[in-house]
Amino acid sequence: MLRPSDWQVIRPLWVGALCSVSEVRLHASGEHVALKQLHREHLGDPGLVARCLNEAFLLQALTTQHKVTGLPQLLAVGQLPSGMPGLLLSLLGDSLARRVQSPHWPLPGSPASLNALCHVGEQLATTLSAVHASGVVHRDLRPDNILFGLPPAAAKEAWSWDTYLIDFGLAKVAPSCEVLPISTGDDDFLGTQEYMAPEQWQSAKLVDAAADVYSLGVVLYQLATGHLPFAAAKSQILMYQHLVTPPPPLPSYLPRALSRLLFAMLAKRRTDRPPAATCAQHLRALRNS
């Protein structure tokens, strides 16, 4: 059991629809870590409880067995006195969603903006490649689920810090993965609409690694232009855009190689998208050019 008497809550970090995350200081070591816990009102839903616990099992397997980097470290998992499942994780920094709102983030079109896009994209694509090779599909890649590490010892631009992919609560896993069983229907809706691949709108259960590549493509398009490729107030219109409408043209100031890569990542047919490892290679070449 996780015991709240073992830590002091420092501050809330994030509150979502299902879980909350707080920064806590461990009394024994003085270390600052992140506590993630399911909201009390969801305790009676076995599926949501299983997803919370499965995130811990996946992180443990990915980081220790498969040696995947770019993920938070799981420090402990257990049940709180309230009965809610909880995870203690390594403490990370701001999300990409928050960082791009900072005045220190480079504006689209600047040389630093291209460097930021290639740096973030290469690191995430490298992490995704290893995650996919382990039989896991994230299914909810978006700026809120991309965190930067804590400030490095040497002064660096805010965009050049290490990036981490978090929140595997909606992940799809291979049958060989040792997790609690969760029934996902063929028509179940899982993910964040603005970043969902065309096939994910139709069946979250049947998606593969290509859906994560599409979501990363949306994130990188957003970094390149300052806006999403598709936006609509109604879900039906947004679904139509992702399923049918080509992404708006990218600015002419972007390198042609980058524009070709982003459009390939945003291909409507999943078989037309490059794997994450190929994306990482192209972004690395662009960053070094």
H or E stretch at 165: strand 163-165
Catalytic residue selected from 94, 140, 167, 212: 140
Residue-by-residue DSSP string for 92-146: ---BHHHHTTSTTSPPTTSHHHHHHHHHHHHHHHHHHHHHHHTTEE-S--SGGGE
**Closest to 170 measured CA to CA, from 18, 20, 21:** 18
CB 158 within 8 A of CB 99: yes
Question: What are 191's two structure tokens?
Answer: 């993910």
CA dist 201 and 207 (Å) reads 10
Whole-angstrom distance, CA of residue 51 vs CA of residue 36 = 13
List the one residue out of 82, 70, 16, 57 whose CA is nearest residue 178: 57
Angle between helices 111-133 and 276-288 (to 10 degrees): 150
The CA distances from residue 7 to 38, 80, 93, in Å, are 18, 12, 20
Residue 140 catalytic?
yes
Task: Indicate the DSSP class of residue 22.
Answer: E
Closest C-alpha among 127, 58, 166, 139 to residue 277: 127
CA distance 230 to 150: 32
Give the integer Cα–Cα distance in Å for 192 and 176.
Answer: 26
What is the rounded CA–CA span in Å between residue 83 and residue 50? Answer: 13
Active-site annotation, residues: 140
